[in-house]
Amino acid sequence: MREPMLLEFRDVNTHYGDLHVLKQVNYAIGKGEIIALLGGNACGKSTTMKTIMGVVRPTSGTVQFDGKAIERLPTAERVRRGIAPVLEARRLFPRMTVFENLEMGAYLRKRGTEFDEDLERVYDLFPRVKERRNQIAGTLSGGEQQMVAMGRALMARPRLLCMDEPSMGLSPRYVEQVFDIIQAINRQGTTIFMVEQNANMALSIAHRAYVLQTGQVVLSGTAEELRRNPLIREAYLGEMQVPAG
């Protein structure tokens, strides 16, 4: 039998009241992959993230993590099993220090050598976060906040990192840096599922990608295939060539 996928959506539907958001959605994310989820506004990307974290429950279909159904589990249990989010717009705890934000990332874990190791790892990846560790998180720049948000997620020692728009609102210099670090985190063994508006950057580091349109997966394939797809070039890549550099 083949090894189970790390995360799998099977025919998932979600609703907000009468609004049908995700429609028969299927994703399969293997261990060690970087998967990008592309799509325009209000196409269901953030709902996908919320469904993984258990903030939104599917109305039908299953969500499996490491071969086990998780769609009925509370959020805390999902975090405990190894799913950690990097939320859209960072969503740090603005009046807590950077260090306290990192602590919150490790909320379900005991303090001890593992915590210290992970803290070292985060400080190695983000020297800037170490410098700012005693600063109030809300006073950092957008790019620094994104570093803290990623560090906070890593403090959970996740097997799957779900990133919602990691490049949003960042200057091009920080976007490069963030994507480099995403690759570094992936090389250290963490699977990454990322929602991204910046298709160009996302496809440059992703192994595979899915394209969502009004709640449906309309296209999927390797990053290379999607980069060559005329539809993608027109809809997502063309407009992204302007703000280069």
Q: How many C-beta atoms surround the C-beta of residue 20 within 10 A?
A: 14
Tokens of 2: 């083949």
Do 159 and 124 touch, CB atoms closer than 8 A? Answer: no
Instruction: Render the burial of 49-82: b for 16+ CB within 10 Å, e for the rest.
Output: bbbbbbebebeebebbbbeeebbebeeeebbebb
**Minimum CB separation from other proteins for residue 93, in Å?**
5
Contacts for 143 with CB less than 8 Å, ≥ 6 apart: 170, 171, 173, 174, 177, 178
Residue 55 CB, shortest distance to other proteins, in Å, is: 7
The binder of other proteins chosen from 31, 80, 121, 130 (CB under 8 A): 80
Question: CA 47, CA 16: separation in Å to the nearest integer?
Answer: 10
CB closer to other proteins out of 115 and 123: 115
- CB closer to other proteins, 132 vs 152: 152
Positive or negative, the CA dihedral 78, 79, 82, 84 is positive
Q: Closest distance between other proteins and the C-beta of residue 77, in Å?
A: 8
Strand 191-195 and strand 34-39: the pairing is: parallel
What is the smallest separation between the CB atom of 87 and other proteins, expressed in angstroms?
6
Query: Of the ranges 79-87, 128-136, 194-202, 227-235, which one interacts with other proteins (CB under 8 A)?
Result: 79-87
Decide if residue 87 touches other proteins (CB under 8 A): yes
| C-alpha–C-alpha distance, residues 182 and 191, integer Å | 10
- For other proteins, which residue of 96, 136, 205, 240 counts as binding (CB under 8 A)? 96
Of the ranges 12-20, 100-108, 166-174, 187-195, which one interacts with other proteins (CB under 8 A)? 100-108
Q: Say if residues 167 and 176 touch (Cβ distance below 8 Å).
A: no
Among 68, 91, 173, 228, binds other proteins (CB under 8 A): 91
Binds other proteins (CB under 8 A): choice among 39, 58, 85, 151: 85
Give least dist CB 91 to other proteins, A: 4
Backbone angles phi, psi at 65, to 5 degrees: -120, 120
How many amino acids of this chain bind other proteins (CB under 8 A)?
23
Pick 93 or 123: Cβ nearer other proteins: 93
Contact yes or no for 34/228 (Cβ under 8 A): no
Interface positions, 106-145, toward other proteins (CB under 8 A): 107-108
* Eight-state DSSP code of residue 91: -
Whether 92 and 139 have beta carbons less than 8 Å apart is answered as: no
Which 183-242 residues touch other proteins, going by CB under 8 A? none
The residues that touch other proteins, with contacts defined as CB under 8 A, are 53, 55, 74-76, 79-80, 85, 87, 91-96, 100, 103-105, 107-108, 152, 156
